[in-house]
Amino acid sequence: MTFISIEFLLFFAIIVFTYYLIQHRLRWILLLVASYVFYAILSIQFIPLLLASTAFTYFTGIIIEKQETKKQKKKVMLVGISVLLFFLGWFKYFNFVNDSLRAIAKYMDWNYTVPYQEIVLPLAISFYTFQAVSYLVDIYYGKQRAERHYGYFSIFFAFFPQLVAGPIERAKKLLSQFKVEHSFNYENINYGMKRIAWGFFKKTLIADRLAPIVSSVFDSPNPTGSQIVLATILFSIQLFADFSACSDIAIGCARMLGINLTENFKQPHFAVSISDFWNRWHITLSTWLRDYVFIPLCKGKKKRSEIYLAILITFLVSGIWHGAAWNFVLWGLIHGIYRVFGDYTKHFRGKIASFIRLDRSPVLHKWVKISITFLLVCFSRVFFRSDSVTHAFENAQLFLTLSSWRPSGMIKALEIYSLLDLVIFMFFFIIVQIFQYIERRNTSTWKSLSQRLIFTRFAFYIFIILSVLIFGVSGKGFVYGGF
């Protein structure tokens, strides 16, 4: 039962109906049971790990708060974080480290006998571990009181709309909302249903229509350079549509229960720099890395070189978090280099723009920066999408080859699309772009739409639903569900 299924919609409808039917004091039980049932349906074998992690974090938070000195609090916090990261490391990174050590030993002609372990990655462990770490750190710094109600805390740890793929929430924002009595609110229900429908739209009509096309190129033993370029650009569109759709559905579901989750995307492919991109892409992860990795690393640092090193380490952590493979490490390093280079050359690039008089045309200048940023992001995603470091470098070389960008080659590469699929995709892609254009001008497309005539509004809603039902295709779940 994934978000994109009739089973989930029926399951959630029952939860919403029951939620507003029962008394507030019983709602935490409903949400907790719903969260565990949802997780169990997806990955029942890891329910014990989820329960153990919840209990451990709950009691560790209380112990931190009860310590009398800052030094004692810090010790307990570090022990707690170490245990949480140990579980994450064992399940997600043991074989990655083990295989890397084996490769080094083979190269150095050493004897290394630790065997490969059959380890299955627990669903959502990366997401709930990061929430747990932020909770313990915030208690240590006095930003958050240790929660005493075990039920409410358990919901924070496993709230089913955002458990699988975020947004990564802070306890300070989420816990308090569970305790407030939410009355039935038509606006919340209306908005939530629209966000869910829009998530279905992007997932089934953009992301899942692109997925097989992208896979056919990256899984091919001998793709052409133009195919790699086209597939990488399409993958960037697919990844955004897929992940933002997941966030849309999570935010919509939570809103229908009266809970406000953090927006996770703000049109990242319209960013004017790599720094701006990370302020728009997977925002809750970016702010988590800023607050719990970058800022602690920069504490007391004043030299630019030290700040740059902290940036590189932060992006390496981001890469490692995304996947236990060297291509993800390289992807994170590439973004770290982008970020450092962008800051170091900011003044110089401004002079160039002034010298060629590009800055005299603000709109053109903006679109040049958007285009360059998008291409840089696309290049990094060659490493993100490739299934090995070897393939990543081969594909990156093809991506950077000038002949791969010839119009004739790109037109030929379009042959991987059937004409009908291409027309269908382009039609719905344009709809999404119009939606985003309105959003950039009015901050909220839904608010703008609500001011239209009732006929216009319902025509658009019916169009979304019928488009999903008639033209939507179903994939294998969400890309970030695997992280």
Minimal CA–CA distance to 138: which of 286, 295, 279, 269? 295
Distance CA 53, CA 157 (A): 9
- Report DSSP state, residue 185: -
C-alpha 443/C-alpha 370 separation (Å) is 19
DSSP state letters, 409-428: HHHHHGGGS-HHHHHHHHHH
- The residues annotated as belonging to the active site are 322
Cβ neighbours of residue 28 closer than 8 Å, sequence gap 6 or more: 149, 151, 152, 155, 178
Q: Are 284 and 268 in contact (CB under 8 A)?
A: no
Distance CA 122, CA 103 (A): 26
| String of DSSP letters for 429-449 | HHHHHHHHHHHHHHS-HHHHH
Contacts of 341 (CB under 8 A, 6+ apart): none
Q: Is 145 helix (H, G, I), strand (E, B) or coil?
A: coil
C-alpha 354/C-alpha 124 separation (Å) is 48
Of 24, 25, 48, which is closest to residue 36 (Cα–Cα)?
A: 48
Backbone angles phi, psi at 332, to 5 degrees: -65, -40
**Cα-Cα-Cα-Cα dihedral sign, residues 347, 349, 354, 359:** negative
What is d(CA 95, CA 68) in angstroms, rounded to the nearest whole number?
A: 40
In this structure, are residues 177 and 155 in contact, taking their beta carbons and an 8 Å threshold?
A: no
443: alpha, beta or left, given left = phi > 0 and alpha = psi -120 to 50? left
Say how far apart CA 244 and CA 282 lie, in whole Å: 9
3-class DSSP assignment, residue 221:
coil
C-alpha span between 304 and 344 (Å, rounded): 9
Class of residue 102 by CB neighbours under 10 A (exposed 0-12, middle 13-18, buried 19+): middle
How far is CA 49 from each of CA 39, 46, 77, rounded to the nearest angstrom? Answer: 12, 5, 20
Rounded distance between C-alpha atoms, residue 122 and residue 130, angstroms: 14
